[in-house]
Structure 1
Amino acid sequence: MRDEFESRESWPFECLRCLHVWEEDYVVRHLSDGHGHTVQVWLRHGVPVQPPWSGPCCPACGSSSLTSFPPGYLDRHPELVAADPLPPARVPALPVEPARQRPAVRAGLPRRLLIVTGLPVLALVAYELYRYLLISGVPHH
């Protein structure tokens, strides 16, 4: 692959949880293999990263619930960026319940499943057998 060209892009984001607004700068390297196939490689600080639309996280609260603006949006709307350099107030994290461990063997589930599915089938078979014997006139002993 050979380098065709590089472009610089700034992507503005807003966290939908804590409303923090920030911008991330990327270098996009456009490559071609000489057979008509092109690839974009996204770089931040010289390190290959995922494209900005593939799940960044808020640097203030860690939330992945974000929205992005068109490139250059914050330049046209400076009122969205806080004037003071202080980070936004942190939203308290929800208490995380420790993960419950499942029992190694769940012996009750197969038995319950057998009862739930077996009883209706058994009732249907018994009804059909009774109806067959009643209609066919087979003498009972």
Structure 2
Amino acid sequence: MRDQFESRETWPFECLRCWHVWEEVYTVRRLTDNYGNEMVVWLRGTVTVQPPWSGASCPGCGAYHVTMFPHGYLRRHPELVPVPVPEPATVTEPPAVPVVARQMPARAPLPGRLLAAIGVPVALFVAYELYENLVAVTHPHTHS
């Protein structure tokens, strides 16, 4: 390897399943060999890993439905980063006011009315077609 350039990059993520927000720090090595071929190696600590856009999973729930924020987004919006729960105090003093992490709104389930609005007409259409085909087979002279 001829040329080597190394940088640290912080990638902010959000899980679209449990709404967990976190950041991961990567070391990115850009290498050029003696033939001019360029290569990028992603590291977490000393372990080679896939790039952040390639299959990140949520450390909270394990889901792979993850989105990334733009670089520096969480520094401009610290209210999105969950506040860690403090360690319990060993002194028997009254507890301090707890710090509450941002509460994400619950996702609304798919409305049953929407399913009924689509399913009932489809079921009626299929039932009508089956009835027409059965009547045409069993009574061939009544239909043209």
TM-score (normalised: structure 2): 0.57
- Superposed CA offset, 1:36-70 (max 9, x none): 21100000011100000000110000000000011
- Could you tell me whether the CA contact under 8 Å between 1:30 and 1:39 is conserved in 2? yes
* Aligned: 1:13 with 2:13: yes
Over 3 Å counting, the alpha-carbon distance change for 1:88 and 1:3 in structure 2 is farther
How many aligned positions are there?
89
Q: CA separation in 2, counterparts of 1:42 and 1:75?
A: 23
Please give the root-mean-square deviation of Cα atoms over the aligned residues, in Å. Answer: 2.1
Q: CA separation in 1, counterparts of 2:8 and 2:50?
A: 15
- Could you tell me whether the CA contact under 8 Å between 1:57 and 1:66 is conserved in 2? yes
- Could you tell me whether the CA contact under 8 Å between 1:10 and 1:24 is conserved in 2? yes
Higher Rg: 1
Question: Which residue is 1:54 aligned to?
Answer: 54
- Could you tell me whether the CA contact under 8 Å between 2:80 and 2:102 is conserved in 1? no
Question: Which residue is 2:44 aligned to?
Answer: 44
Q: CA separation in 2, counterparts of 1:72 and 1:85?
A: 24
Question: Which residue is 1:103 aligned to?
Answer: none
- Could you tell me whether the CA contact under 8 Å between 1:3 and 1:29 is conserved in 2? no
| Structure 2: gaps of 5 or more residues | 87-100, 104-144
Question: Which residue is 2:78 aligned to?
Answer: 78
4+ residue segments displaced more than 4 Å: 86-89
Q: CA separation in 2, counterparts of 1:8 and 1:64?
A: 24
Q: CA separation in 1, counterparts of 2:15 and 2:35?
A: 41
The offset of 1:83, in angstroms, is 2.2
SS of the equivalent of 2:35 reads coil
Query: Structure 1 vs Structure 2: percent identity of aligned residues?
Result: 62
- Could you tell me whether the CA contact under 8 Å between 1:18 and 1:88 is conserved in 2? no
Instruction: With a CA cutoff of 8 Å and minimum separation of 6, indicate the structure with the bigger relative contact order.
Output: 1
Q: CA separation in 2, counterparts of 1:7 and 1:53?
A: 17
SS of the equivalent of 2:79 reads helix
TM-score (normalised: structure 1): 0.58
